Amino acid sequence: MNTEMYCKTLFKEFAIGNPSMSPWDIIENLESIIYELLDSLPEEYDISGGIAIHSSAIVDPSTLIKAPAIIGPDCFVGPHGVLRGGVVLAQETTIGAGCEVKQSVVCSGSALAHFNYVGNSIIGADVNLEAGAVIANHYNEHPHKTVQLLVDNKMIDTGKDKFGAVVGDGSKIGANAVLSPGTILKPDTIVRRLELVEQIA
């Protein structure tokens, strides 16, 4: 399985990981990957305490950002959000009011409207999450805690206790929808409002 199948912009934008890494391995190692990337960012980034913010980005001062993090060119991060656990926001990403993004990569042109939670996930380019949509990252209700996923009718056990989703470029997630742990969405997928995506029962 190759991350580029689902997020073709990921390596082009920030050279995160390598094509042989699985999405869950990239996410598990995201903090250390970001720290390595900080040294190679251009001078347009203001880097302090493990947090890099591009000079063209707008970040509301009420948002809590915990290192490490990279906020790319022309991003907008609205009020009262939380970015933690290792976060990369690529160019022209919008994070609306009250969103929490944990240990995730959000690629160019994608938007989290407001009051979203995205955990341990890779969000492709030009993805839109409407208000209240959640990407869950942990099987709270299962006795078997490691996250499994279904790809080409094959079950894969990630071996990770926490992994959210890989959301393909151009996908649209409706208001108050929930993506269960291990969700894989192909490019241009539409998830209806209030829909629960649970690819493994």
CATH number at residue 193: 2.160.10.10
Domain hosting residue 162, numbered range: 3-197
pLDDT for res 16: 60
- What confidence tier does 65 reach under pLDDT thresholds 50, 70, 90? very high
- Which of 9-18, 133-142, 147-156 is predicted least confidently? 9-18
4-16 average pLDDT score? 50
- What confidence tier does 110 reach under pLDDT thresholds 50, 70, 90? very high
78-86 average pLDDT score? 98
More confident residue, 174 or 153: 174
Q: Is residue 12 pLDDT above 70, yes or no?
A: no
Q: Is residue 33 pLDDT above 70, yes or no?
A: yes
Looking up tokens 């073709």 gives 8
- Is residue 107 within 8 A of residue 9, CB to CB? The reply is yes
pLDDT for res 4: 43
Q: Is residue 5 pLDDT above 90, yes or no?
A: no
Distance CA 67, CA 141 (A): 30
Q: Which helix (H) or strand (E) holds 44?
A: none
pLDDT above 70 covers a percentage of the chain that reads 90
Q: Is residue 192 pLDDT above 50, yes or no?
A: yes
61-70 average pLDDT score? 98
Structural domain count, the chain: 1
Q: What is the pLDDT of residues 111-148, one digit of tens each?
A: 999 999 999 999 999 999 999 999 999 998 877 789 99
Q: Which residues are the active-site residues?
A: 114
Q: Which two tokens stand for residue 91?
A: 């160019």
pLDDT for res 13: 52
pLDDT for res 18: 64
